[in-house]
Amino acid sequence: MANRIKPVHRKAIEEYVEKVRVALGLLEWRIVLLDEPTEDDEAVEPPTAQISTTETHHLALMRVGDRFFDDDGNPDNLRTETLIHEVLHLHFEFAWHAFLEVAHSNLAGQALGLAKYSYRTNIERGVDQLAHALASMLPPFKLPK
Ligand SMILES: [Zn+2]
């Protein structure tokens, strides 16, 4: 699936993500935009965007879903928040990986599921609110037509 993301869109997203990365002080991180769409087995529809990391490297892999490019449902102000949201996650990724390691070696079954759900849900809520607030302070993202 080569060039799912148009080169002009890729360039705009990469430049914006780079600006946000530096503005948020994530200087040691490298963010790579993958061409693959987003996926989530537990969600009803694929997320607008997602970012994934490993526990050892400051390397993040970002994906944007088809919904990201939908002008009607997802205008530029929402795209701005989405991109800030994904970059912001990087501040919490090592804490998330450390939590997972501790949780998996000390919990099982329902307790493990509940702990992971609670931790992830609270990070998600915080990242979402912070992204919303930061979107009014950072330059807006504009998807080239
Ligand atoms: Zn998120």
Q: Is 144 among the domain residues?
A: no
CATH of the domain at 86: 3.30.2010
Question: What average pLDDT score do residues 21-50 get?
Answer: 93
Domain membership of residue 121 (yes or no) is: yes
Residue 141 lies in a domain: no
pLDDT of residue 42: 79
Domain membership flag for residue 78:
yes
Tell me, in angstroms, the distance from the centre of ligand 1 to residue 141's CA: 18
User: What is the reported pLDDT for 1?
Assistant: 54
pLDDT over 90, % of the chain? 88
Residue 8 C-alpha to ligand 1 middle, in angstroms? 25
User: From ligand 1's centre to the CA of 99, what distance in Å?
Assistant: 17
**Residues 16-24: what's their mean pLDDT?**
98
Q: Which domain holds residue 83?
A: 7-135
Q: Is residue 142 part of a domain?
A: no
Give 53 Cα–ligand 1 centroid separation in angstroms: 13
Residues having C-beta closer than 5 Å to ion ligand 1: 124
Amino acid at position 2, single letter:
A
State in Å: Cα 123 to ligand 1 middle.
Answer: 8
Residue 77 is assigned to a structural domain of this protein: yes
* CA distance linking residue 128 with residue 118, whole number of Å: 15
Q: What is the pLDDT of residue 44?
A: 83
Using the mean position of ligand 1's atoms as its centre, give its distance from the Cα of residue 50 in Å.
Answer: 7
> DSSP assignment, residue 83?
H
Q: Is residue 107 part of a domain?
A: yes
Amino acid identity, position 82: T
The full DSSP string for 17-82 is: HHHHHHHTT-TT-EEEE-SSPP--TTSSS--SEEEEE-SS-SEEEEEE-GGGG-TTTS-HHHHHHH
Candidate from 2-6, 14-18, 76-80, 118-122 with smallest mean pLDDT: 2-6
Q: How far is the CA of 96 from the centre of ligand 1 (A)?
A: 12
Q: In this structure, is residue 24 part of a structural domain?
A: yes
pLDDT-derived band of residue 40, with 50, 70 and 90 as boundaries?
confident
